[in-house]
Chain A
């Protein structure tokens, strides 16, 4: 098992490195100069020089990549191109903010300080959603699988088919229309601030969490159902039933225990969609998290912020998948003793 764990960790580290090359390469090693691409028509000699200086464009590409990665590992994600000390916020600025005038006072805001509170907000959103998602999809998926081809199964399938088919922003907008516009029960946007109490913040979180949950639940329920169904149709479950074991024992010790590995993998994979969903949901509700920050940074072509957020997301995804695989090794006797 130790060999497997070491090997798997090595693969994870290699994947993360490869992704860091892709993220860095895609945003930096493009034809032409990044400074020109970022500024476009607003380019002036002064602003070009400022951006070239901020991105250390005078250095060679491998050198820049190495120092970028080194700084990232030490929690220093560089300086934002769009946000300046005077404008402060991520949303408040566009690339044209850096003009020749401001180039005289090159006071940039560090990316880390820009995305710090966004990390917390996104973690809250993703955490609450996962806490609800896992038991709910497990319950619905298992129930649908055990009642396969009966009314409950068809009802669950149909519901997941319809809700899961819709883009997150459609689900979110429908919820806003119903709960914020028509019945006026909940706020339509989630402008969370640090001054809010937990109670106030909870009200802002309801619609984003429900939207994210609705779109995720459909997919995960379907996959959990497939996993449980595959096990419950296997020969050893038939054998257990035929040898007269009680149905509750068959369910607990044979079906659920054996579909555990697939289920763990389902949740690990679903993290990837969750990040996609988070980007959309945060934009719909103007929730100040990493997703909406990424969208703003991409619109403003604030490359250091894009790189930092993407690398962070990729790292979280890879670590969660790594942990899921470890858990699988641990839960599979054949692998545990290997």
Chain B
């Protein structure tokens, strides 16, 4: 297909309009101090998590001292339960959680949006069958489902991602379906279908752009849940396997030394607490911004989930 001058012009105009709209929205989100603090916290933790391994002073698996040795100039957080450097292990422990959370979030939204859009667009039998399957998925307590998978297939990191997607994609799909049902009956969708647009482009270019408010309101809270679930699985011992560790498993493996030497537990503990609070503060900012412009109801946004 050749790109005509007129098409190029309208494309640029559209891009400018969305960019202006996007920056307006971001300004509205970060208008509150809470959202700004939250974003700063998330940024710092991402930096520590991703670049931490480069700054680690020791090998995270090397036995250097006695178990739960007190902090010293050489080992700032002291030794862990086996006598490894607690700081180095902490600096190595963020990557998996962050990478898995990002991959999981992408998959959750990709799968959830696709299913939700198709349900709302096709309706009829597709919608009926999919609704039944979604209801079943929603009837399962989240953590329990991942544990069933783990007992069957063993402990794998990819299984954590699969579990998170199976748990949260139905919830996203339900939100998308609900919002899209109002959109699919509108005239511009009919017009696009009459023009002969492919289903994929009707869904992604005509319907999806109208679903951003409920999706954005959901996004922040969903991110908190995903991080909590992944960290909790790490804590239960179903994340990174020893000798590697993530921030969740660092807390459980060192908790026996809380009385002697709390630092190996405190470092990952505070980081995870701050991370989830940071995400929640930004989520709150997003919901406030959307409700100010009347796109979602502040009182109910983010509470219909589970």
A residues near B (Cβ < 8 Å) are 15, 18-19, 22-23, 26-28, 30, 37, 148, 161-162, 164-170, 173-174, 176-177, 180-181, 188, 222-223, 225-226, 229-230, 233, 269-273, 275-276, 279-280, 283-284, 294-295, 297-299, 301-303, 306, 310, 313-314, 317-318, 321
Contacts and interface: CB of A to CB of B under 8 A. Distances in A.
Given A37-B152, A148-B299, 9 more contacts: A26-B149, A165-B277, A177-B265, A181-B259, A229-B299, A280-B232, A297-B151, A314-B141, A317-B139
Interface in B245-261: 248, 251-252, 255, 258-259
Q: Which of B231, B259, B279 has the most A CB atoms < 10 Å from its CB? A: B259
Interface stretch (B5-13, B57-65, B83-91, B235-243): B235-243
Contacts of B281: 161
The 3 closest A-B pairs by CB, nearest first: A276-B143, A165-B280, A275-B141
A272 B154 contact: no
A222 B300 CA distance: 9
Among A15, A170, A301, A302, max chain B CB count under 10 A is at: A170
B136 A15 contact: yes
A310 B148 contact: yes
Contacts of B150: 298
B269 interface: yes
Given A181-B258, A298-B238, A26 B269 contact: no
Contact of A279 (B143, B231, B237, B273): B143
B276 interface: yes
Contact of B153 (A30, A167, A176): A30
Nearest to A274: B141
A295 B249 CA distance: 14
Contacts of B306: 269-270, 272-273
B262 interface: yes
A182 to B, nearest CB: 9
A120 B238 CA distance: 26
Contacts, number: 150
B208 to A, nearest CB: 26
Contacts of B302: 222
Contacts of A26: 148-149, 152
A291 to B, nearest CB: 9
Nearest to A18: B136
Given A170-B273, A230-B300, A15 B238 contact: no
At the interface, is chain B mostly helix, strand, loop or mixed? helix
Contact of A165 (B144, B149, B279, B300): B279
Interface of B: 135-136, 139-144, 147-154, 224, 228, 231-232, 235-238, 248, 251-252, 255, 258-259, 262, 265-266, 269, 272-273, 276-277, 279-281, 284, 299-300, 302-303, 306
Contacts of B237: 295, 299
B232 A167 contact: yes
Contact of A303 (B151, B252, B259, B265): B151
8 contacts: A22-B140, A27-B151, A226-B303, A233-B299, A270-B306, A295-B147, A317-B139, A318-B139
Contacts of A15: 135-136, 139
A28 B276 CA distance: 36
B147 A188 contact: no
Contact of A161 (B147, B248, B280, B299): B280
B269 A174 contact: yes
A37 to B, nearest CB: 7
A181 B262 contact: yes
A174 B276 CA distance: 15
Contacts of B280: 161-162, 164-165
Contacts of B273: 166, 170, 174
B240 to A, nearest CB: 15
B139 A19 contact: yes
A173 B265 contact: yes
Contacts of A298: 147, 150-151, 238
A181 B224 CA distance: 29
A313 B141 contact: yes
A294 B146 CA distance: 12
Interface centre among A18, A169, A273 (most CB of B within 10 A): A169
A152 to B, nearest CB: 16
A299 B303 CA distance: 34
B97 to A, nearest CB: 11
A188 B258 contact: yes
B299 A225 contact: yes
Looking at B252, B280, B281, which has the most chain A CB atoms within 10 Å of its CB?
Answer: B280
Contacts of B252: 169, 283
A176 B143 CA distance: 23
A306 B149 CA distance: 10
A165 to B, nearest CB: 4
Most buried by A among B148, B153, B300: B148
A280 B147 contact: no
Contacts of A295: 147, 236-237
Contacts of A161: 277, 280-281, 284
Contacts of A317: 139, 141
A166 B144 contact: no
A223 B269 CA distance: 27
A23 B148 contact: yes
B35 to A, nearest CB: 12
